[in-house]
């Protein structure tokens, strides 16, 4: 394992307002600094990410519930 992998694997903590190292549990990830749940992207990055997705999707797409199911299950 390369130490750099650890630093690449970060998520955004709304409480700390920065990308942080996190602890992975079965369903959620938690900030190692404050212990609160972290998200994959900051809000701005998330918006950009979704805009990017929308543009790439064909017209007529509807909101999908698959994201609830599609996650890795234990």
Q: Return residues touching Zn ion (CB under 5 A).
A: 13, 15-16, 31, 33-34
Min CB(21)–Zn ion separation in Å: 10
Q: Which is nearer to Zn ion, 13 or 29 (CB)?
A: 13
- Structural element, H or E, at residue 39: none
Q: Which is nearer to Zn ion, 17 or 73 (CB)?
A: 17
- The count of other CB atoms within 10 Å of the CB of residue 16 is 14
Within 13 Å, how many C-alpha atoms sit on residue 26's CB side? 2
Min CB(18)–Zn ion separation in Å: 8
Q: Which is nearer to Zn ion, 9 or 51 (CB)?
A: 9
Which residue from 36, 14, 42 is spatially nearest to 23, judged by alpha carbons? Answer: 36
């Amino acid at each position: 394992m390369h130490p750099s992998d650890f630093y690449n694997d970060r998520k955004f903590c709304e409480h700390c307002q920065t990308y942080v190292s996190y602890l992975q549990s079965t369903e959620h990830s938690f900030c190692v600094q404050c212990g609160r749940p972290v998200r994959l992207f900051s809000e701005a990055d998330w918006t950009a990410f979704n805009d990017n997705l929308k543009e790439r999707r064909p017209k007529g797409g509807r909101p999908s519930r698959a994201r609830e199911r599609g996650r890795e299950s234990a």
